[in-house]
Structure 1
Amino acid sequence: MIVEVHARGAGNYPRFDILRRHGYAIFYLTSSEAVDPYSFADIRRVPSKFLDDLRKAAEEWHREVGFDAVMTTDEASVIATASIAEALQLPGLGLKAAQNSRNKWFMRLAHQAGGAPHPQFARCDTLEDSLVAAKEIGYPVILKPTLGALAQHVYKISGPAEMENRFAAAMEGSKSASFSRFEAKSEDIGPCTLLVESFLDGSEHAVEAVIEGDTLQLGAIADRLSIDSETFDADLYKMPTALSANQIELVREAIRLGAISQGIGLGVLHAEVRFHHGSPYILEIAARPGGGSIQYTSEASYGYCPVSAALTVAEGRSVDVPPLKPTGEVSIALTMLCDEGHVEKLSVPPGVRNMPGVINFQVVPKPGGTVYRPPLGNDVLGFLGTKGNSLDDALTLADRIFTSIEIDLTPLAHT
């Protein structure tokens, strides 16, 4: 059974294809009425987002079908999936570990209690809270939602005036225009509010890994090439990593401690770490495969498939992660951005997905839709993954494709 509390659309279907290649039929549980067409074995639509209702529907369905595994690749469904797996007595994260792996407030408290390296942090329910916390921590600071994803409503704040300018919109956005909208309704989700954290000034890295007991296996490491600005959704990652062997071991240990602190006994991980004064600190550790193009770059540059690993974990089995050895191919994962506005026209060059060197290509907006950019939202144009014999090859191909996309936007009427 695949759980997506809110249907995430066809962009996730290549992941389902991987599960089918492993011999599984896909039964799909969602609260959404509209679901993009796919070769599901069956769909169960629950006319409610309350976790109790989703769990009861899953239990009834399980009695009818007898599922072998329950899993999700969706960040906003991690807690619901863990709760359902417990109810079905199937392998899963466990509810507490899922809470610690989804809600950033719970995550930071777990890291603090477990001695895992993390930035200074404070929960901030009001502007006054954020000003006090930022003064104690020291500017610049990071303002971020507890239930965000894709760097939605995450800001680098350089002083009190900027905090006063950003806070209200970030709080409103975290509730009305972020992944928090896609969560099941339950007190188990935890507080939907904001954190203020210390800014880490070193290199940033995305890591795909598997934790089992106290052993962490690294599957892939990406280097973030994006230039820091006041927002963080303009992602550009490159694999394989340029980190030294010693730095890789420091990263491994940081993530291992973080995952153990979060209570994950067996889990597939997408972690983001950033160095500060020579040591890595945890930005987040999510208990699901990486999104965007990270799944594809992991396979291209390291021969590691995070989705296959997630399936093995959902079966309750140990994952045989290949040694962290580059394949020789250089790959990049780019989050494509555009201006905000109403989409009047969108033109994509034909045959892009089948071009040599293209490993992922997804365009999100559709004609007639709307693109919101900060502070109203963090909508993206899409996700692009390319590979080549060198970084220049991969970047050149990505640039050629990105610049060939034509999108006509009419301005939004701001009030």
Structure 2
Amino acid sequence: MNPYADTLLAIGSGLEPYRKYLARSVHARARELGLNLVLLNNIEPTWQRNYFDEFAVANLFDHEQLRARGREIARRRSVVGLLCWDEPLVQPAADLAAELGVPGLSPEGVRGCRDKHRTRTALTAAGLLQPGFQLTRSLDEARRAADRIGYPVVVKPQALGASMGVVLVGDAMELAAAFDTAAGASAIGDAPFRGTALVEEYAVGPEISIDAAVDQGEYLPMFVARKRTGHEPYFEEIGHTVDAADPLLHDAELIRTLAQAHRVLGVENGITHSEVRLTARGPLIIEVNGRLGGDLIPFLGHIATGVDPGAVLVDIATGRRPTVRPTRNVVAGIRFGYPRQDCRVRSVTVPAHATGLVTAAPMVEPGAELRLPPGGYIARHSFVVCEAATADHCDELLDTAVTLVELDADPLEPIVAGDPFTLPAGLLDADA
């Protein structure tokens, strides 16, 4: 490490199962460019020590602490770029980047993405296809909104990711429980968005996600993921598949819609993860996130296309034109293991070998409590990743690989109605 070299500051590492691959890629690209890497994180580093040159620890959920530590690092080092891929931290990271005068997603751009009501309002005003919607602060408001929009509706928190607290509501009898779920889930989010719920028209059609770079206003798609959901009426994301040859990468209407949406939301530079429903009326943007996708989707994208999302992230963060041209042409997919009921984990064993298996890993430690919606979310005990020449074959390999995962667990009584929902132990990169 050269202590006088230009520095990239990363805000939050995320969890090892979800983000280690990204830290590895970022480290490799930073070394190619002669850059140091400094991590400002919630907890003392463990696995991160292999990828960062210096560490600072602070309560990053206290945004004043985050800014103060970031300023202190910038006084000692020549910070030329700032990285953040951790959803709860993208707004304060963008604020700090603007203060330091380094490239990246602007604070206004992040706000346009993170606040789902703001996103809906802006895209609707711009004439883009959007569902009917209303932000509500009480059950009575939600009832009036749903009656006006017409059932079925989707009720969701205003500013959370990973489909937490999102519920499909078929009729008025189901609305009260759904509002409680969405508004209750919002309690783990930023203070301005707590206690609210967005009521939306349900958009019918398959759901996809697109990870892309935005360079000086130009939208540069990297890869498309086909999403698999489960645990209805909730929207738990149980798997994704990325095909390097997916025709949607060249769908003019889809790419034009996404490019326009990014302009409307004020996204000039950065990396985004957009979720879209392919409806009979055309592509309908569900949300735009001011970060790379989660659920190891960028890892799948790297396997399938050869495009390295960590390298793209570093280039965008330092004002360089990124390379998004594919160098591979295969299909990669992931499937997450969920318990059949709420449980306390004894052990998780994943396969070491299977046809097409790229990697597999447990996602929780013994003793972790896993609770399914509405008492909990993202109750994953493991994942498997497979590679194949076609999407159908990849799905077959994933179906086989996931059956080889062994979960030993004790059942738990369901959460009592009205109790706050829980996240699996270790889901957030913070001390217990």
Confirm or deny a common fold (TM above 0.5).
Answer: yes
For 1:368, the equivalent position in structure 2 comes to 367
Q: Is 2:184 the partner of 1:172?
A: yes
TM-score, structure 2 as length reference:
0.85
- Structure 1 residues 117, 313: CA separation in 2 closer, same or farther (over 3 Å shift)? farther
- In structure 2, the residue matched to 1:17 is 24
Residue from 259, 262, 272 that aligns with 2:262: 259
Distance 2:67 2:109 in 1: 18
Report the AA paired with residue 402 of structure 2. F
- Whether 1:410 and 2:410 are equivalent positions in the alignment is yes
SS of the residue aligned with 2:74?
A: helix
Structure-to-structure mapping, 1:16-165, within 5 angstroms: 16-22=23-29, 23=31, 24-30=35-41, 32-39=42-49, 40-47=52-59, 49-165=61-177
Q: Give unmatched runs, 5+ long, in structure 1.
A: none
Which range moves more in the overlay, 82-91 or 239-248?
A: 239-248
CA contact (8 A) 2:205 2:279 kept: yes
- Answer whether contact 1:293 1:385 (CA < 8 A) is retained: no
Q: CA deviation at 1:9?
A: 4.2
Kindly tell me: are residues 175 and 93 of structure 1, through their superposed partners in 2, closer, same or farther at Cα, counting changes over 3 Å?
A: same
Q: Which residue of 2 aligns with 1:223?
A: 226
* Equivalent residues of 1:339, 1:371 under 8 A apart: no
C-alpha deviation, 1:291, in angstroms:
1.4
| C-alpha spacing 1:118/1:335, structure 2 compared with 1 (3 Å) | farther
Between stretches 195-204 and 334-343, larger displacement belongs to: 334-343
Cα shift at 1:338: 1.9
Distance 2:228 2:325 in 1: 25
Aligned: 1:195 with 2:206:
no
Instruction: Tell me by how many angstroms 1:168 deviates.
Output: 1.2
Contact 1:223–1:239 under 8 Å retained in 2: yes
- 1:195-232 CA distances to partner (integer Å, 9 max, x unpaired)? 11111111221112222344322211122354693111
1:207 match: 210
Contact 1:119–1:282, Cα closer than 8 Å, also in 2: no
8 A Cα contact 2:208 2:226, kept in partner: yes
Q: Contact between 2:245 and 2:329, CA under 8 Å: does it hold in 1?
A: no
Distance in 1 (alpha carbons) for counterparts of 2:87 and 2:144? 31
Report runs of 4+ in structure 1 exceeding 4 Å deviation.
225-228, 241-247
Residues 278 and 51 of structure 1: CA distance in aligned 2, closer, same or farther (over 3 Å): same
CA distance 1:167–1:245, shift in 2 (3 Å): closer
Judged with a 3 Å threshold, the aligned counterparts in structure 2 of structure 1 residues 228 and 257 are, in CA distance, closer, same or farther, namely farther
Q: 1:3 aligns to what? A: 11
Distance in 2, matches of 1:336 and 1:284, equals 25
Using the alignment, how far apart are the partners of 1:113 and 1:317 within structure 2?
32
Q: Decide whether the 8 Å contact of 2:117 with 2:135 is kept in 1.
A: yes
Of residues 55-64 and 221-230 in structure 1, the stretch that sits farther from structure 2 once superposed is 221-230
DSSP 3-state at the match of 2:85: coil
Deviates more, 1:12-21 or 1:405-414: 405-414
RMSD: 2.6
What amino acid is aligned across from residue 101 of structure 1 in structure 2?
A: C
Q: Which amino acid aligns with 2:393?
A: D
Give, in whole Å, the separation in 2 of the partners of 1:28 and 1:43. Answer: 5
Shift of 1:36: 3.8
Question: How many residues were matched structurally?
Answer: 400
Which residue of structure 2 lines up, in the alignment, with residue 286 of structure 1? 289
Counterpart amino acid of 1:370?
E
Indicate conservation of the 8 Å contact 1:11/1:362, yes or no: no
In structure 1, the partner of 2:337 is 336
Deviation at residue 10 of structure 1 after TM alignment? 5.0
Which stretch shows the higher mean deviation, 332-341 or 369-378? Answer: 332-341
> Take 1:203 and 1:48, find their aligned partners in 2: how far apart are those partners?
36
**What do the CA deviations read for 1:133-160 (whole angstroms, capped 9, x no partner)?**
1111111111111221111111111011
Give the Cα–Cα distance (whole angstroms) in 2 for the partners of residues 251 and 20 of structure 1.
Answer: 33
Partner SS for 1:393: helix
State the SS of the aligned residue for 1:234: strand
The 1-side partners of 2:304 and 2:389 are apart by: 10
C-alpha displacement of 1:246: 10
State the one-letter code of the partner of 1:396. Answer: E
Task: Give me the whole-angstrom Cα distance separating, in 2, the residues matched to 1:130 and 1:251.
Answer: 31
